[in-house]
Amino acid sequence: MVVEPAAAQAVERIYRESYRRILATLIRVFGDFDLAEDALQGALIAAVHAQAASPEAADWREIADLYEALQRVHDTPVVRLNRAAAVAMAEGPEAGLVLMERLDLAELDGFHPYHAARADLLRRAGRRDEAVRYARSIVPP
Protein backbone atom coordinates (compact mmCIF):
# COMPACT_ATOMS: atom_id res chain seq x y z
CA MET A 1 0.00 0.00 0.00
CA VAL A 2 1.38 3.38 -1.01
CA VAL A 3 0.40 6.26 1.24
CA GLU A 4 0.17 9.61 -0.49
CA PRO A 5 2.42 12.32 1.02
CA ALA A 6 -0.62 14.44 1.88
CA ALA A 7 -2.14 11.53 3.82
CA ALA A 8 1.14 10.88 5.65
CA GLN A 9 1.39 14.57 6.54
CA ALA A 10 -2.20 14.53 7.81
CA VAL A 11 -1.46 11.53 10.05
CA GLU A 12 1.65 13.26 11.40
CA ARG A 13 -0.24 16.52 12.02
CA ILE A 14 -3.08 14.74 13.80
CA TYR A 15 -0.58 12.79 15.90
CA ARG A 16 1.28 15.97 16.93
CA GLU A 17 -1.93 17.83 17.70
CA SER A 18 -3.45 14.92 19.62
CA TYR A 19 -0.38 13.54 21.41
CA ARG A 20 -1.22 14.86 24.89
CA ARG A 21 -4.87 13.83 24.66
CA ILE A 22 -3.98 10.34 23.40
CA LEU A 23 -1.33 9.92 26.10
CA ALA A 24 -3.76 11.06 28.82
CA THR A 25 -6.36 8.59 27.55
CA LEU A 26 -3.83 5.75 27.54
CA ILE A 27 -2.67 6.63 31.05
CA ARG A 28 -6.30 6.36 32.22
CA VAL A 29 -6.69 3.03 30.38
CA PHE A 30 -3.41 1.47 31.54
CA GLY A 31 -3.05 3.30 34.85
CA ASP A 32 0.67 3.70 34.16
CA PHE A 33 2.56 6.49 32.40
CA ASP A 34 5.42 4.31 31.14
CA LEU A 35 3.07 1.69 29.72
CA ALA A 36 0.96 4.40 28.06
CA GLU A 37 4.06 6.03 26.54
CA ASP A 38 5.28 2.62 25.36
CA ALA A 39 1.93 1.89 23.69
CA LEU A 40 1.85 5.30 22.03
CA GLN A 41 5.41 5.00 20.73
CA GLY A 42 4.68 1.46 19.52
CA ALA A 43 1.65 2.71 17.64
CA LEU A 44 3.68 5.49 16.05
CA ILE A 45 6.42 3.07 14.99
CA ALA A 46 3.79 0.79 13.46
CA ALA A 47 2.26 3.77 11.63
CA VAL A 48 5.64 4.76 10.16
CA HIS A 49 6.12 1.17 8.96
CA ALA A 50 2.61 1.10 7.48
CA GLN A 51 3.15 4.32 5.52
CA ALA A 52 5.96 2.76 3.49
CA ALA A 53 5.34 0.87 0.28
CA SER A 54 7.94 -1.72 1.32
CA PRO A 55 10.32 -2.36 4.22
CA GLU A 56 13.15 -0.84 2.17
CA ALA A 57 11.11 2.32 1.61
CA ALA A 58 10.42 2.87 5.31
CA ASP A 59 11.93 5.93 6.99
CA TRP A 60 14.40 3.91 9.05
CA ARG A 61 16.08 7.01 10.51
CA GLU A 62 12.72 8.10 11.93
CA ILE A 63 12.03 4.57 13.18
CA ALA A 64 15.45 4.43 14.86
CA ASP A 65 14.75 7.80 16.48
CA LEU A 66 11.38 6.55 17.72
CA TYR A 67 13.02 3.48 19.25
CA GLU A 68 15.56 5.76 20.93
CA ALA A 69 12.69 7.79 22.42
CA LEU A 70 10.96 4.59 23.50
CA GLN A 71 14.20 3.39 25.09
CA ARG A 72 14.28 6.51 27.27
CA VAL A 73 10.92 5.60 28.82
CA HIS A 74 10.95 1.81 28.46
CA ASP A 75 14.53 0.56 28.30
CA THR A 76 14.39 -3.16 27.62
CA PRO A 77 16.76 -5.47 25.74
CA VAL A 78 14.16 -5.97 22.99
CA VAL A 79 13.69 -2.21 22.49
CA ARG A 80 17.49 -1.82 22.29
CA LEU A 81 17.67 -4.69 19.78
CA ASN A 82 14.89 -3.19 17.66
CA ARG A 83 16.71 0.15 17.69
CA ALA A 84 19.93 -1.57 16.56
CA ALA A 85 18.02 -3.20 13.69
CA ALA A 86 16.48 0.12 12.66
CA VAL A 87 19.89 1.85 12.82
CA ALA A 88 21.29 -0.95 10.63
CA MET A 89 18.60 -0.27 8.06
CA ALA A 90 19.23 3.51 8.23
CA GLU A 91 23.02 3.61 8.43
CA GLY A 92 24.21 0.15 7.38
CA PRO A 93 24.83 -3.20 9.05
CA GLU A 94 28.08 -2.21 10.79
CA ALA A 95 26.28 0.59 12.67
CA GLY A 96 23.67 -1.91 13.84
CA LEU A 97 26.34 -4.39 14.89
CA VAL A 98 28.06 -1.71 17.00
CA LEU A 99 24.81 -1.23 18.94
CA MET A 100 24.27 -4.99 19.20
CA GLU A 101 27.72 -5.38 20.76
CA ARG A 102 26.53 -3.17 23.64
CA LEU A 103 23.54 -5.40 24.45
CA ASP A 104 23.54 -7.62 27.52
CA LEU A 105 23.76 -11.11 26.06
CA ALA A 106 22.56 -12.72 29.27
CA GLU A 107 19.21 -10.98 28.77
CA LEU A 108 18.92 -12.00 25.12
CA ASP A 109 20.60 -15.41 24.99
CA GLY A 110 17.35 -17.36 24.57
CA PHE A 111 15.74 -14.71 22.35
CA HIS A 112 16.02 -16.20 18.86
CA PRO A 113 15.34 -12.94 16.95
CA TYR A 114 18.54 -11.53 18.49
CA HIS A 115 20.63 -14.36 17.07
CA ALA A 116 18.91 -14.20 13.67
CA ALA A 117 19.41 -10.43 13.49
CA ARG A 118 23.08 -10.69 14.47
CA ALA A 119 23.81 -13.39 11.89
CA ASP A 120 21.94 -11.41 9.22
CA LEU A 121 23.80 -8.17 9.99
CA LEU A 122 27.13 -10.01 9.86
CA ARG A 123 26.13 -11.41 6.45
CA ARG A 124 24.94 -8.03 5.17
CA ALA A 125 28.18 -6.43 6.36
CA GLY A 126 30.10 -8.82 4.11
CA ARG A 127 31.39 -10.81 7.06
CA ARG A 128 30.03 -14.07 5.63
CA ASP A 129 32.51 -16.45 7.32
CA GLU A 130 31.85 -14.84 10.69
CA ALA A 131 28.09 -15.02 10.06
CA VAL A 132 28.31 -18.74 9.24
CA ARG A 133 30.46 -19.44 12.32
CA TYR A 134 28.04 -17.47 14.51
CA ALA A 135 24.97 -19.22 13.07
CA ARG A 136 26.60 -22.62 13.61
CA SER A 137 27.55 -21.73 17.18
CA ILE A 138 23.93 -21.05 18.13
CA VAL A 139 22.35 -24.06 16.43
CA PRO A 140 22.40 -27.20 18.56
CA PRO A 141 24.24 -30.15 16.97
Render pLDDT for 1-46 as a digit per residue (tens, 0 to 9): 344 556 556 656 766 777 788 889 999 999 998 888 778 878 888 8
Q: Are residues 16 and 66 in the same domain?
A: no
Torsion of CA 20, 25, 29, 35, to 10 degrees: -10
Provide the CB-side half-sphere exposure for 27 (13 A, CA).
Answer: 9
CATH code, domain carrying 108: 1.25.40
Instruction: Look at the chain and report how many structural domains it folds into.
Output: 2
Same domain, 47 and 82: no
Same domain for 136 and 81: yes
Question: Residues 5, 51: one domain?
Answer: yes
| pLDDT tens by residue, 67-110 | 888 788 778 898 899 999 999 999 999 999 999 999 988 888 88
Are 104 and 132 in a shared domain? yes
Rounded Cα distance between 84 and 81, Å, is 5
8, 33: one domain: yes
39/79 Cα distance (integer angstroms): 13
CA angle 20, 22, 24 (to 5 degrees): 65
Tell me which of 16, 32, 55 is where a domain ends.
Answer: 55
- Residue where a domain stops, chosen among 40, 55, 70: 55
Helix (H) or strand (E) holding 125, with range, is none
Q: Tell me, yes or no, whether 69 and 50 share the same domain.
A: no
Per-residue pLDDT at 1? 39
**CA 8, CA 5: separation in Å to the nearest integer?**
5
Q: Say yes or no: 122 and 105 in one domain.
A: yes
Q: Do 129 and 71 belong together in one domain?
A: yes
Range of the domain at 121: 59-141
Q: Are residues 49 and 68 in the same domain?
A: no
